[in-house]
Structure 1
Amino acid sequence: MSTTPVPPPGGPPPPGRRQRLRAWWADRHALPQFGYWLLSRGTVALGVCAALYVLNGVLIGWGDAYDVLIGITSPSAVRPQWCAWPLSLTGWAAIPAIVGGSAGYVITRQIQAHHARELSDVVDELRRLAEHPAPPAPPGGGE
């Protein structure tokens, strides 16, 4: 006789892939601000950039799409132009804004992590140092 393992009675079944994915997506609010932005809005922005690049790669060629994206070739020099102009604007404005904003956020977080003093403490100390010192005491004890 073979014995097959019997699951313990009354317990819920283990979560499936769909439930784990749903729980992971619900927990995204617990991420740091940059991680949350990257998952919520950053993927949308990068997805739009990627979709424009793929559309232009199919319509005008991959090399020309790359050249238009990074600004080597003008969008008016390729055909069709209707899809090259949004790609050019994306490469000129959106991608540098995304990269610059991301780098700025990461650098700011690193700087803030290394601050040891509050700004109000620093301002109070600067005000104390800016005040005129009291005149020195007369020599001889003042008798």
Structure 2
Amino acid sequence: MTDPSGPPPPKVQRSPVVRTRRWYEEKKAKTGRFRFWLYFKSWKWILFVLVDFLLSATHIGWVDTWEILVGRESPRHAAWPWVAWPLSIFGWLLIPAFIGGVAGYVVTGQIERRRSDSADEAAAALAEMVRRKGSKHGGQP
């Protein structure tokens, strides 16, 4: 008869790539919707805009780069227009979309948090709040 409490199975050695991928997937699964979008979806666009901003700033100048990004100056008149045009497009399209996406996720989170209460729970909470206010002011609810 064999001993069921024999030696433990050998520990599996995973490659660093497999461990990193597993860590990445675990982090992805544990984040909320907003953080998931921010960390795993939008970081490429943020990096792309940041690189273009830094490239423009080194060739055109910090002030002119900012002016082009916010739309106060035309990229056509910049010293390096091929660097300034993508920055101008980012300023008109990507940055407002990014801000709208952030606002959308924040508002959605707030709505879902309040929507999780059932109608009966909300009515009971409202009745409790009215009862407490009535007792504070000496009146009957």
Q: TM-score range by the shorter chain?
A: 0.5 to 0.7
Q: Where is the helix percentage greater, Structure 1 or Structure 2?
A: 2
Offset of residue 87 of structure 1: 0.1
Residue 109 of structure 1: aligned partner: 109
- Residues 76-115 of structure 1: pairs in structure 2 closer than 5 A: 76-115=76-115
CA shift at 1:111, angstroms? 1.3
Counterpart mapping for 1:62-77 below 5 A: 62-77=62-77
Indicate yes or no: 2:44 matched with 1:52: no
Aligned position for 2:43: 43
Aligned-partner residue type, residue 88 of structure 1: S
Give the aligned residue type for 1:90. Answer: F
Q: State which structure, 1 or 2, has the greater radius of gyration over its C-alpha atoms.
A: 1
Give % identity. 34
Structure 2: unaligned runs, 5 residues or longer: 1-10, 12-16, 120-141
Post-superposition Cα deviations, 1:32-73, rounded to whole Å, max 9, x if no partner, equal 222111111211110001011011011111111111011111
Tell me the TM-score normalised to structure 2 length. Answer: 0.65
Task: Please give the secondary structure, in 2, of the residue aligned with 1:68.
Answer: helix
Superposition CA RMSD, Å: 2.5
Deviation at 1:30, TM superposition (A): 2.5
Structure 1 counterpart of 2:25: 26
How many residues are aligned here? 109
Normalization by structure 1: what TM-score?
A: 0.64
Q: CA deviation at 1:77?
A: 1.8
Unaligned runs of 5+ in 1: 1-11, 13-17, 119-143
